[in-house]
């Protein structure tokens, strides 16, 4: 069995490793520390702990919009799911997940909670007028046509899109469809509404 000397050794070793882990967790994360989470994600402080990185959400996502976070999203968030609108839009507001949000339905731990779609806001889309075709004088209203949310994008009289932060749900349809290269639109987690973690 275990002697007292060995027990003390294990404890001392554990304390050392714990110190190393603390240092690793303090490695500063990149600029995009706050990533866009799939719909129904719980509060930021619990998400990285509740998510077991099983990969179920990225398997069930019909548009494959869910990708895994990498080292650039912070060491504690590696392999957690995030939304990449360049691969696909999140269809929780309109589309294949309109009835039930599949990622939240299949999440085994409750890191993604099955909440009412009305309460979901993934983030906000921001427009960069320097890249936007409409602002460059060309004819383009793709983002307005793709947007599933009424009044989130309005057109000015000369057909230039204007984004409304308060209406935007951050589904990424407009970002995915934007024909400009590089994209004039970016999806950020600004203003995201997360699910409350209930014990």
Partner 1 sequence: MVEMKIGIIEALRAITASLVILIFAVAPIFGLMYGTTCALTFGSFTVISPLELALVSLGTKTILVSLIVSGLIVILIVVFFGRFFCGWICPVGILLEYSHILTEKKERKGVGTLWRNKEKYAILLAVLAASLLFNFTAPYLFSPPGIFYRTIIYFISHGIVGADLTVLLLIFILDVLAIRYGRTWCDTLCPLGTIISSLSIVNLVKPKVDQKRCIDFDFNCLNCERICPMRIPLTRADNWAMMDCNKCLKCWMNCPVKAVKLEVFGYG
Chain residues in the site for partner 1 (CB under 8 A): 1-2, 6, 9-18, 20-22, 24-25, 45-46, 48-50, 52-56, 58-60, 64, 67-71, 75-76, 78-79, 87, 106, 108-110, 197, 199
Q: Which is nearer to partner 1, 103 or 152 (CB)?
A: 103
| Cis peptide, bond prior to residue 182, ω within 30 of zero | yes
* CB 174 to partner 1: min, Å: 22
193, 179 in Cβ contact below 8 A?
no
Taking the complex as a whole, how short is the minimal distance between the CB of residue 52 and partner 1, in angstroms?
4
* Closest CB 76 distance from partner 1, rounded Å: 6
What is the nearest approach in angstroms of partner 1 to the Cβ of residue 70? 4
Q: Find all residues with CB under 8 Å of 106, minimum gap 6, and list them.
A: 56, 57, 60
**Whose Cβ is closer to partner 1: residue 11's or residue 159's?**
11
């Amino acid at each position: 069995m275990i002697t007292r000397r060995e027990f003390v050794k294990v404890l001392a070793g554990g304390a050392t490793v714990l110190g190393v882990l603390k240092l690793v967790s303090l490695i500063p994360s990149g600029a995009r520390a706050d990533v866009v989470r799939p719909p129904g994600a719980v509060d930021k402080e619990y998400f990285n702990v509740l998510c077991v990185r099983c990969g179920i959400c990225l398997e069930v996502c019909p548009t494959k919009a869910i990708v895994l976070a990498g080292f650039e999203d912070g060491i504690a968030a590696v392999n957690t799911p995030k939304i990449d609108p360049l691969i696909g839009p999140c269809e929780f507001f309109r589309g294949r997940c309109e009835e039930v949000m599949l990622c939240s339905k299949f999440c085994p731990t409750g890191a993604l909670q099955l909440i009412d779609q009305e309460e979901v806001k993934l983030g906000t889309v921001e427009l960069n007028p320097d890249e936007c075709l409409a602002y460059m004088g060309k004819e383009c209203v793709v983002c307005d046509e793709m947007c599933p949310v009424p009044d989130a994008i309005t057109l000015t009289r000369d057909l230039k899109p204007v984004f409304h932060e308060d209406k935007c749900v951050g589904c990424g349809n407009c970002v995915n469809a934007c024909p400009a290269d590089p994209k004039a639109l970016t999806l950020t987690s600004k203003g995201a509404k997360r699910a409350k973690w209930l014990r």
